[in-house]
């Protein structure tokens, strides 16, 4: 199990180091920023640099969050081996769909799939657990990345994550399993800094579209 997480972290470290030396992903963001500004709210200053920092933290969070979810599920007797191996393979061999999608850009695809899968599993297990397993709300971060990936491709990844999440639908936990899971969860909640809201901390959010006023033409 731990070897898989080490593989993910090494892949991420290589991509981050490559980006810091080449700046390729940041340059691609700079070219696409005029279109992104319509939907993504950025702090003042160097927008592409802020977004690149956000993406790095988004990608780096995957192994930590996945590992903690696997530990939580393991405490309740639930097996996440298949999910972990799928995400590890995706990180180890990210497809190069486009010349710009190498290094950090390629891992962003896989990170979005991983985060959305965690979100789906969390939602499916919540009825059995009576509480969310992961004490963070990744919705804003996922929606920002969705804008970076494009609606069509993100929808394909969403469909995969939904299929994976359905494997955990309707599960029933024994009282002993539920107690073990809750105790394990409390240990994580008491650990500061484990669940960062990096979108909020970096002041990156989605713009809320203004509703178009409806004109009454009935008279």
Query: How many Cβ atoms are within 10 Å of 62's Cβ, its own excluded?
Result: 25
State the pLDDT at residue 181.
86
State the pLDDT at residue 208.
59
Residue 188 within any structural domain of the chain:
yes
Query: What are the two backbone dihedrals, phi and then psi, of residue 89, each rounded to the nearest 5 degrees?
Result: -65, -40
State the pLDDT at residue 38.
67
Residue 214 within any structural domain of the chain:
no
CA distance 105 to 32: 13
Residue 91 within any structural domain of the chain:
yes
Q: From residue 169, give the alpha-carbon distance in Å to each of 19, 120, 185.
A: 39, 10, 20
CA distance 128 to 192: 26
Work out how many domains the chain is built from and give that number. Answer: 1
State the pLDDT at residue 52.
92
Instruction: Provide the token pair at 132.
Output: 């969310």
pTM for this model (two decimals): 0.84
Residue 210 within any structural domain of the chain:
no
Instruction: Write out the residue range of the structural domain in which residue 28 sits.
Output: 2-204
Residue 212 within any structural domain of the chain:
no
Residue 157 within any structural domain of the chain:
yes
- Which of 9, 192, 2 minimizes the C-alpha distance to 111? 9
pLDDT per residue rounded down to tens, the chain (219 residues): 668 999 999 999 999 999 999 999 999 888 887 777 667 777 777 888 888 988 998 999 999 889 988 998 999 899 999 999 999 998 887 765 544 456 888 899 999 999 999 999 988 888 888 777 777 777 778 888 988 888 899 999 999 999 999 998 888 888 898 889 888 887 776 665 555 566 666 677 776 554 444 444 444
- The contacts of residue 49 (CB under 8 Å, 6+ apart) are 26
State the pLDDT at residue 198.
63
Instruction: Provide the token pair at 147.
Output: 């804008």
Residue 217 within any structural domain of the chain:
no
Residue 62 within any structural domain of the chain:
yes
Q: 130: phi > 0 → left, psi -120 to 50 → alpha, else beta; which?
A: left
State the pLDDT at residue 144.
85
State the pLDDT at residue 185.
81
Tell the residue number behind the tokens 């279109």, with chain if given: 35
């Amino acid at each position: 199990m731990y070897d898989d997480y080490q593989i993910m972290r090494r892949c991420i470290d290589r991509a981050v180091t490559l980006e810091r030396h080449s700046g390729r992903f940041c340059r691609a963001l700079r070219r696409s920023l005029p279109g992104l500004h319509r939907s993504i709210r950025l702090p003042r200053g160097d927008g592409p640099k802020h977004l690149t920092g956000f993406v790095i933290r988004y990608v780096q969070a995957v192994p930590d969050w996945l590992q903690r979810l696997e530990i939580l599920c393991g405490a309740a007797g639930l097996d996440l081996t298949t999910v972990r191996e799928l995400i590890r393979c995706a990180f180890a061999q990210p497809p190069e769909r486009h010349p710009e999608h190498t290094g950090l850009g390629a891992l962003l695809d896989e990170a979005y799939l991983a985060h959305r899968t965690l979100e789906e599993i969390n939602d499916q297990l919540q009825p059995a657990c009576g509480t969310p397993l992961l004490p963070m709300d990744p919705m804003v971060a996922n929606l920002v990345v969705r804008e970076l990936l494009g609606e069509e491709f993100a929808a394909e990844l969403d469909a995969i994550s939904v299929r994976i999440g359905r494997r955990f639908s309707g599960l029933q936990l024994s009282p002993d399993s539920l107690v073990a899971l809750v105790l394990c969860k409390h240990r994580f909640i008491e650990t500061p800094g484990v669940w960062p809201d990096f979108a909020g901390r970096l002041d990156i959010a989605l713009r809320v579209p203004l509703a178009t006023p409806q004109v009454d033409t009935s008279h």
